[in-house]
Amino acid sequence: MLEPEIAAFIERASALYPSHHAAMTPREQRDLYDRYAATLTPPLPSELTTQDANFRTDAGQAIPLRLYRHRAKASEHGTIRGTVLYFHGGGFVLGSLNSHQMVTARLAADTGLDVIAVDYRLAPEHRAPAAHDDCLAITLAALNNRLPFDLPDHAGLQLAGDSAGGTLAASVALRLRDDGVSGVRGVALVYPMLGTEPQLPARDTEANAPMLTLADVHKFRNAYWGTVGGNSGERDEEYGDPTPGPAWTIPLAATRFDGLPPTLAIGAEHDPLRDDARVFVERIREAGGDARLLIGTGLVHGCWRALETSPGVQAMHRAVCDFLGEQARD
């Protein structure tokens, strides 16, 4: 059953953003999504400052970044206690620095940590592993203090993301583990997409959930990964046939789940991706790791935008903030 406040949020959101319309071009979808997000985004908290910059990767990609910093806590503590790289959701097709400001701003305001939003390349113009490569490059730059911000050398780094951004955060953590790179203290995933096919039983029981359906998941998957692990991609008339992405971009396809930083994974009850979070946590725990699971009762995919009205979302947000704060103190 939906939380009453979430039911009201869905009604409002549906009026602002009816569906992922197949007839729209990617640019039209992005414009609509950004307008929808702007309508639901409150003013920037007065206690925060922001700074925009671009980082050019070794591969020549210019990646826009935005730093959110808490004025009072930065002054009070003398130095920033830690940094969170935030990878936005949007199915690898949608999203921008602006679209998720209500999340990144509140994380910075409520934790006192620096939060850096990352605007990676989007599909279908840039298929797998473009977004993953961008986020990996930014993470490595952050670990080596090469980002264009005034960040203390000793600031602990964490990764966070929602939906497709959760895919990116989990994938980067796994890739760093495989490459023998340490330094990430924690990983927070909110209703993440962690495979190319959602895990059972939510894949079937929540296939027609509000805000995100199984058909939506497949469309986004095909736009970014194409044909992976036996799943048939759909030909895009403008961009051509999809091709498989590398295995490291699919967290639940990993052969090992040990050696990861402490991980928080949150699923929404009414979301076909709900059990991706559960299965990921179970595999990390089975490998002896520190992984925590929260299932938001009565919540839906994309519900973080209901933070100002939904008690369930407020509890979810507190769980993320508490986790990031705990890892920053360790």
112: left (phi over 0), alpha (psi -120 to 50) or beta: left
Determine which helix (DSSP H) or strand (DSSP E) holds 279, and give its type and residue range.
Answer: helix 274-286
Helix (H, G, I), strand (E, B) or coil at 258: coil
C-alpha torsion sign, points 44, 49, 51, 57: negative
DSSP 99: T
Interatomic CA distance for residues 190 and 167, integer angstroms: 10
Burial class (CB within 10 angstroms; exposed 0-12, middle 13-18, buried 19+) of 223: buried
Strands 114-118 and 82-87: what pairing? parallel
State the catalytic residue, choosing from 163, 270, 276, 310.
Answer: 163
Could you give the CA distance from residue 193 to residue 164 in angstroms, rounded to a whole number?
6
Q: Is 78 left (phi over 0), alpha (psi -120 to 50) or beta?
A: left
Candidates 70, 270, 301, 317; catalytic one:
301
> Whole-angstrom distance between the N-terminal and C-terminal Cα of the chain?
38
Whether 171 is catalytic: no
Contacts of residue 4, defined as CB under 8 A and 6 or more positions apart, other chains included, come to: none
Which of 119, 162, 271, 276 is catalytic? The answer is: 271
**Could you tell me which of 167, 275, 271, 168 has the C-alpha nearest to residue 210?**
271
**Active-site annotation holds for 14:** no
Q: Is position 99 annotated as part of the catalytic site?
A: no
Point out the residues that are catalytic. Answer: 163, 271, 301
